[in-house]
């Protein structure tokens, strides 16, 4: 298509669109204009440096998958709480296991559900003060306080002497050919 043909086609297309409709299309608000509600949210998020979904929001595929699992199997939290409500004897019959296994299973369920209601407590010492976790590494054995010598100087290590080989013993090879030379 030549340039003149393109110009003629563009002129015909412009003639097909009435002028008032073209002006009306320009007046429609878009989400990028400051007066549009979505535009304000987009500009506010851009100003704060946020992009994408809000924090904690799930994507569509995850929401659909969770809804499918809930429809097919029920809510997992509700089902576990229902099993924990049974006495160990009834649970043992339902699970076809021993009474001890049923009691242990019920205890495990209750321990897991406890985390939803009560926060785990921080470790404390005998006086009730918080204990800060510590990680200690000791390399080279126990040295006296302030001793900066390397471990081989303060540890009583016995040295093992390896007897030196004579030059003739070192040069002997047990192969038929040594360094591409026959013996």
d(CA 24, CA 18): 10
In this prediction, residue 104 carries a pLDDT of 94
- List beta partners, residue 181: 178
Tell me the H-state helices in the chain: 3-16, 19-27, 37-48, 60-73, 76-85, 88-95, 99-117, 151-154, 167-171
Q: Could you please report the per-residue DSSP string of 75-112? A: -HHHHHHHHHHS-HHHHHHHHT--HHHHHHHHHHHHHH
pLDDT tens for the chain, residues 1 to 183: 677 887 887 777 777 766 666 566 566 666 556 566 666 666 676 677 666 677 777 888 888 898 998 898 888 888 889 888 999 999 999 889 999 999 999 999 999 999 888 888 888 888 888 888 777 666 655 555 566 777 667 666 666 666 666 655 555 566 666 667 665
């Amino acid at each position: 298509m030549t340039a003149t043909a393109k110009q003629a086609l563009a002129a015909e297309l412009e003639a097909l669109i009435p002028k008032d409709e073209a002006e009306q299309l320009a007046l429609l608000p878009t989400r990028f204009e400051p007066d549009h509600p979505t535009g304000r949210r987009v500009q506010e998020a851009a100003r704060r440096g946020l992009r994408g979904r809000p924090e904690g929001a799930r994507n569509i595929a995850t929401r659909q998958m969770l809804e499918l699992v809930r429809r097919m199997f029920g809510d997992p939290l509700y089902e576990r709480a229902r099993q924990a409500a049974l006495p160990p004897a009834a649970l043992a019959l339902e699970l076809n296991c021993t009474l001890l296994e049923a009691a242990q299973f019920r205890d495990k369920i209750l321990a897991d559900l406890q985390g939803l209601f009560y926060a785990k407590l921080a470790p404390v010492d005998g006086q009730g003060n918080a204990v800060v976790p510590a990680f200690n590494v000791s390399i080279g054995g126990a040295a006296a306080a302030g001793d900066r010598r390397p471990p081989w100087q303060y540890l009583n290590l016995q040295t093992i002497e390896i007897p030196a080989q004579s030059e003739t013993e070192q040069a002997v090879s047990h192969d038929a050919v040594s360094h591409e030379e026959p013996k």
